Amino acid sequence: MNRAWTLNVSVRSVEREPFWYAPQTPWQIQGQGFRVKFHTNRAIDLLAQDQLLVTVGEEGTANWAAFIGTVVECEPDSLLLYTSPQYEAQLMDIRRLEREFSPLASILGAQHVIETLGYFPPFHYDEITDVQLETVQNIQSLSLVLTHNADQEWEQQVHFHFEHIQQEMFSTVEASNVCLQLSFTYAADQIRVNLDAVSGFSATFLCSTIHIQFH
Q: Is there a domain that residue 78 lies in?
A: yes
Q: Is there a domain that residue 114 lies in?
A: no
Q: Is there a domain that residue 112 lies in?
A: no
Q: Which amino acid is at 148?
A: H
Please say if the pLDDT value at position 202 is more than 50: yes
What per-residue confidence (pLDDT) applies to 91? 97
5 band by pLDDT with thresholds 50, 70 and 90 = confident
User: Nearest-CA neighbor of 124 among 99, 101, 158?
Assistant: 158
What per-residue confidence (pLDDT) applies to 1? 47
Structural domain count of the chain: 2
Cα 139 to Cα 193: distance, rounded to the nearest angstrom: 17
Is the domain of 45 the same as that of 133?
A: no
Is the domain of 129 the same as that of 179?
A: yes
* Average pLDDT value for the chain: 91
Is the domain of 48 the same as that of 125?
A: no
pLDDT in tens, 77-134: 899 999 999 999 999 999 999 999 999 999 999 999 998 888 899 999 999 999 999 9
Is the domain of 162 the same as that of 203?
A: yes
215 band by pLDDT with thresholds 50, 70 and 90 = confident
Give the residue from 68, 103, 138 where a domain finishes: 103
| Parallel/antiparallel/unpaired status of strands 94-101 and 6-8 | antiparallel
Q: Is there a domain that residue 110 lies in?
A: no
Q: Is there a domain that residue 83 lies in?
A: yes
Is the domain of 130 the same as that of 204?
A: yes
What per-residue confidence (pLDDT) applies to 42? 78
**Sign of CA pseudo-dihedral 41, 34, 112, 208:** positive
* DSSP string computed for 24-43: TSTT-EEEEEEEEEEE-SS-
Is the domain of 30 the same as that of 63?
A: yes
Q: Is there a domain that residue 80 lies in?
A: yes
Q: Which domain, by its residues, includes 64? A: 6-103
Is the domain of 74 the same as that of 21?
A: yes
β-bridge mates for residue 8, sequence order: 96
In angstroms, the Cα distances linking 137 to 3, 164, 167, 214 are: 29, 11, 16, 28
Q: Is there a domain that residue 136 lies in?
A: yes
Is the domain of 125 the same as that of 192?
A: yes
Question: Region 192-199: what's the mean pLDDT?
Answer: 97
Q: Is there a domain that residue 137 lies in?
A: yes
β-bridge mates for residue 67, sequence order: 54
